[in-house]
Structure 1
Amino acid sequence: MTVHIGAKPGEIAEIVLMPGDPMRAKWAAETFLKDATCVNEVRGMLGFTGTWNGSRVTIQGSGMGMPSLSIYANELMRDYGAKTLIRIGSAGAMQQEVAIRDLVIAMTASTISTPSCGFFKELNYAPCADWKLLHSAWAAAKKTDAKVHVGGIYSSDVFYDERPDLNEQMQRHGVLAVEMEAAELYTVAARYGCRALAVLTISDHLLTGEALPSDERERSFGEMVEIALAAATAEP
């Protein structure tokens, strides 16, 4: 048991999926895992452990933003022995060719700052996904009807962004989408020698103003969860 995770030793699997919303963790566990049991309720940040195709999997909410995710990622790896962590969540498209409901598999995650910046001082560390996880996710996605993009994303440390100049430069340099957690997850995983990936569903579009209605989000997010599960449980 840690300060933020109330699970007992052995109740967290080596494979962990991390949605930001704890209620999405509950929905994903009830929808995809067999014999899912709630293993964490501290501060309402729900976590569940069950099995998927015979593999033990934990689905643990991370909260919104890199500071919140950093707390859970550190404790999951350091105290509970998690080895493979995949962020599953929504993102905003930053390129015309990326559409609502498309999936983005994040190869890299650029950012202005993360909770880990203090470790590096003057170094501009480049957070990136685990290659084998990324390759497995890509292979799993190609077996579906989903339109999938692989490339760089931006992990913002603010939700209400007022930097159109920065957005323009990221669009110019091919950044696919924006979210708020992946860069820190990739950095913490590297620190502990673990594997990390982000598989994201496009829920809104920065260029067109389109947005996925809330009642359609769960149906669209299901494909993302299945791809993440397939990638996490594939042979390394």
Structure 2
Amino acid sequence: MSTPHNQAQMGDIAKTVLMPGDPLRAKFLAETYLEDVKQFNTVRNMLGYTGTYQGKQVSIMGSGMGQPSIGIYSHELFTQYGVEAIIRIGSCGSLQKNVHLRDIIIAQGSCTDSNFAHQYELPGTFSAISSYDLLEQAVVKAKEKGLNYHVGNVIASDIFYHADQGSAQKWASMGCLGVEMESYALFATAAHLDKKALTLLTVSDSLVTQEETTAEEREKTFTAMMEIALEIA
């Protein structure tokens, strides 16, 4: 049983899937941390792998960029492959002066400028939040590791190059910690399907200080976030 976007068969994918946006980050993670690794997807180069971490079966698959992309992959994983939880492990831009390069953001909730939740025909605005048990476990692990972390709201934007150059500051004024492009759709999809979801983000650049990391650093050095996700999967 495959889908238009995933060639995996039932049983190829674990109950918990870690989802970086970049499929090459999925490849790096699988090759670095998993044992007995098997690749289950290459369609559109959205690489997916299943293996074991400390004796526990875990899958890792790229989600691509943006909410339409993670909306497709997460929906198929939840509905076609029996996945129960997805942990997004991504990068983000900091919106606050106390959220520094390489700090970890554990997203408690996600704001958005997307119309993603329109499909549910709700009589209002849906607040997309993470699954508390996953959130709590991530906080415990971050504390144990002595990491610099922050818990709170992020903004999941559909727009990378925004015509309104003051957009980021408006979200920052409402307390959003960082900006990325996937979490709202993941949280909404999980809520609609009664599944679990969490987003862990490493700060790759700062919209406050203009500091930034390289593409290779984002692919291969955000290991603290990756290890938290693996340990709570």
Q: Aligned equivalents of 1:98 and 1:150: distance in 2?
A: 11
Asked whether the 8 Å contact 2:108–2:129 carries over to 1, the reply is yes
Residue 183 of structure 1: aligned partner: 184
**Counterpart position of 1:130:** 131
Q: Distance in 1 between matches of 2:31 and 2:115?
A: 32
- Structure 1 residue 53 displacement after superposition: 1.2
What is the DSSP-based 3-state SS (H/G/I as helix, E as strand, rest coil) of the residue aligned with 1:110? strand
Relative to the length of structure 1, the TM-score reads 0.95
What is the rounded CA distance, in whole Å, between the counterparts of 2:62 and 2:219 in structure 1?
Answer: 15
Runs (4+) of structure 1 moved beyond 6 Å?
Answer: none
Q: Which runs of 5+ in 1 are unaligned?
A: none
- CA distance, structure 1, for counterparts of residue 115 and residue 60 of structure 2: 23
1:161 corresponding residue in structure 2: 162
Partner of 1:141: 142
Note if contact 1:67-1:114 (Cα within 8 Å) is conserved in structure 2: no
Paired with 2:81 and 2:208, the residues of 1 have a C-alpha distance of 41
Q: C-alpha displacement at 1:84, in angstroms? A: 0.9
Higher mean C-alpha displacement, 118-127 vs 31-40: 118-127
For residues 138 and 67 of structure 1, what CA distance do their matches in structure 2 show?
Answer: 28
Counterpart of 1:80?
81
Distance in 1, Cα, partners of 2:81 & 2:220: 31
* Percentage of pairs with the same residue: 43
The residue that corresponds to 1:47 in the other structure is 48
Q: Deviations over 1:129-169 (max 9, x none)?
A: 00010000000111113200000000000111232333222
Shift of 1:214: 3.2
Gaps of 5+ in 2: none
Residue identity opposite 2:205 in structure 1 = D
How many angstroms apart in 2 are the aligned matches of 1:146 and 1:160? 31
Distance 2:45 2:216 in 1: 23
SS in 1 for 2:197: strand
- The more displaced of 111-120 and 195-204 is 111-120
Instruction: String of CA shifts for 1:80-103, please: whole Å, max 9, x gaps.
Output: 010010000100000000000000
2:9 matched to which residue of 1?
A: 8
Secondary structure at 2:126 match in 1 = coil
**Other-structure match for 1:208:** 209
Give the stretch that moved more between structures: 161-170 or 130-139. 161-170
SS at the partner of 2:150? Answer: strand
Cα separation, partners in 2 of 1:166 and 1:216, compared to 1, 3 Å: closer
**Paired residue type of 1:132:** D
Question: Is the 8 Å Cα contact of residues 114 and 183 (structure 1) preserved in structure 2?
Answer: no
User: Is 1:118 the equivalent of 2:110?
Assistant: no
Which whole-Å CA distance do the structure 1 matches of 2:46 and 2:83 have between them?
17
> What is the Cα deviation at residue 215 of structure 1?
3.9
Matches within 5 A, 1:28-107: 28-107=29-108
Q: How many residues align?
A: 232
**Displacement of 1:119:** 1.6
C-alpha separation between the residues in 2 aligned to 1:154 and 1:208? Answer: 18
Asked if the contact 1:91–1:204 (Cα under 8 Å) also holds between the matched residues in 2, the reply is: yes
